[in-house]
Amino acid sequence: MEKNLNTKDKRVIKTRKAIIGATIQLMGTKRIEQITVKEIADTALINRKTFYTHYDSIYDVLNDIENGIIQSLIQILDSTDFSAERLNPYPLFEKLTAMISQDAEFFHCLLQSSGHSHLLNKIKGVIKDHLLIQFDKYFPNDPVLPQYVLEFIASGLIAVYQQWFDANEPEPSLEEISRITGLLIFDGVNGVFRQKQQELLDSPN
């Protein structure tokens, strides 16, 4: 349920940030269904009444976190010129690295928990939907191949980050993983682009 609060009020922003931070912190030690409102309130240094002033349930907090991540991802993808980024993908992955670094603890929980598969699917869907718009010019008469290329990009991207979080090692760094991911994904996809563009050039139409 939408709360009738001024979300631009500094006190509201501060309190919600504390609640979200406490929720993410607790998610690092237990599953979301095991977390109580009292634990969140105690960790955020607020009382239960204040929690319910801002959220109806713990799952409302989780939705707020997830929506923030999706909006950040959309902003990154909207500002990306894929035709340029596929030749030099590192600026794109630098933006993704910055986004993940801001909520590293939540992403760690997200990628290690099967309970958040719906968000992973949502993230994958956002990536595919935004890139599909830019793929049209490369595959004007082929509605099938782009779906496989997009699945490769989105699934590969998530899988590499998941492997990094699962390993829980300081090396390689998140920045290095982002560089490797860009290299793996875009060098592989470039081969498909070159092949398709050559087919279009060779086509009598």
Per-residue pLDDT tens over the stretch 88-112: 667 777 888 888 888 787 787 777 6
Has residue 205 got a pLDDT over 90?
Answer: no
**How many percent of the chain have pLDDT more than 70?**
85
Name the residue with higher pLDDT: 169 or 79: 79
Has residue 2 got a pLDDT over 60?
Answer: no
Q: Which two tokens stand for residue 128?
A: 């595919």
Domain 10-54: give its CATH code. Answer: 1.10.10.60
Question: For residue 179, what pLDDT is reported?
Answer: 75
CA-to-CA dists, residue 37 to 49, 64, 103, angstroms: 10, 15, 21
Name the residue with higher pLDDT: 75 or 140: 75
Has residue 47 got a pLDDT over 80?
Answer: yes
Average confidence score pLDDT of the chain? 82
Q: Which two tokens stand for residue 100?
A: 């993940």
Question: For residue 6, what pLDDT is reported?
Answer: 67
Has residue 169 got a pLDDT over 70?
Answer: yes
Question: For residue 164, what pLDDT is reported?
Answer: 82
Distance CA 45, CA 22 (A): 9
CB 21 within 8 A of CB 103: no
Has residue 113 got a pLDDT over 80?
Answer: no
Average pLDDT over residues 25-31: 85
Residue with tokens 């009738």: 4
Crossing angle of helices 104-112 and 145-167, in 10° steps, is 110
CB 139 within 8 A of CB 146: yes
Name the residue with higher pLDDT: 169 or 126: 126
> What is the CB neighbour count within 10 angstroms for residue 54?
19
Distance CA 124, CA 153 (A): 9
Q: Domain-by-domain residue ranges, the chain?
A: 10-54, 65-202
Q: Which two tokens stand for residue 91?
A: 């600026």
Give the global pTM: 0.72
